């Protein structure tokens, strides 16, 4: 007489990274309501996420992009340096094409905007855990609209962030340790790449796309 051993499929183990405790608890409740997955840990910052990931070795990490200290994108990069096979789904309020692009470049396999139906989160976890990618139509459209020649260099982003704070060219030059003429050159390039008529329009475009955040 033969006995067939049946082993239950282990639930997908998920680490939740978000700087808002209430949001983390809410996401954990949604995850734990499904028999397919379980929340094994929570982190409120990028540094804590790196530590928790190393200790817990989750199957998937749900990562917010807006975090105190290092950003969500940088957190993904640091974790993947230690664990190249780590899988990430971004869950954030940021909808800009540059945010999406940077997250994908860092190694995210899925990108969801907060406020989505629970079923979409479950579907994303299933897809990514199975080795696939999950980018819903609004995210895919935003990414498709991105043009390669509209990206900014790290220095240009620094300049634009200071422009967004209302700094003059002289103040920007002093803050960055460059000449005022160099600042003017950077601003000119920024306006051209963002197809902006003036500094205000450039800031608005950059904020919408996720090139800078305030």
User: Residues 13-32: what's their mean pLDDT?
Assistant: 95
Distance CA 212, CA 186 (A): 15
User: Is residue 153 a part of any domain in this protein?
Assistant: yes
Do 124 and 171 have their domain in common?
Answer: no
Decide if 7 is inside a domain. no
Share of residues in the chain with pLDDT > 90 (%):
66
Each residue of 68-82: pLDDT tens digit?
A: 999 999 999 999 999
User: How would residue 3 be classed by pLDDT, with cut points 50, 70 and 90?
Assistant: very low
Pick the closest to residue 129 from 140, 138, 121, 117 (CA basis).
121
Does residue 155 lie in a domain region? yes
Q: Structurally, how many domains does the chain consist of? A: 2
pLDDT tens-digit readout, 129-151: 999 999 999 888 888 877 666 67
Give yes or no for a contact between 151 and 98, defined as CB atoms under 8 angstroms apart.
yes
3-state secondary structure 86-134: CCEEEEECCCCHHHHHHHHHHCCCEEEECCCCHHHHHHHHHHHHCCCCE
**pTM passes above 0.85:** no
Q: Which two tokens stand for residue 31?
A: 């995850």
> Each residue of 37-58: pLDDT tens digit?
999 999 999 999 999 999 999 9
Choose the final residue of a domain: 126, 144, 162: 144
Helix, coil or strand: residue 17? strand
What would the pLDDT profile of 95-107 be if each residue is shown by its tens digit? 888 899 999 999 9
Three-state SS at 34: coil
Can you give the pLDDT at residue 149? 64
Tokens for 27?
């996401």
């Amino acid at each position: 007489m033969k006995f067939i051993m049946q082993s239950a499929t282990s639930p997908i183990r998920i680490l939740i990274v978000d700087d808002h405790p209430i949001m983390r608890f809410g996401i954990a409740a949604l995850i734990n309501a499904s028999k397919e997955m379980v929340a094994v840990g929570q982190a409120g910052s990028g540094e804590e996420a790196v530590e928790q990931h190393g200790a817990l070795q989750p199957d998937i990490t749900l990562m917010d992009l807006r975090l105190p200290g290092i950003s969500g994108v940088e957190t993904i990069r640091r974790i993947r340096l230690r664990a190249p096979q780590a899988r990430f789904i971004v869950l954030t309020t940021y909808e800009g094409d540059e945010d999406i692009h940077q997250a994908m470049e860092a190694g995210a396999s899925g990108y969801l905007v907060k406020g989505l139906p629970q079923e979409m989160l479950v579907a994303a976890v299933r897809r990514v855990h199975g080795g696939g990618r999950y980018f819903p139509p609004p995210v895919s459209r935003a990414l498709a609209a991105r043009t390669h020649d509209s990206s900014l260099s790290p220095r240009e982003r620094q300049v634009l962030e200071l422009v967004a704070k209302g700094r003059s060219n002289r103040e920007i030059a002093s803050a960055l340790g460059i000449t005022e003429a160099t600042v003017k050159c950077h601003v000119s390039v920024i306006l051209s790449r963002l197809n902006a008529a003036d500094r205000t329009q450039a800031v608005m475009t950059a904020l919408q796309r996720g090139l800078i955040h305030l």
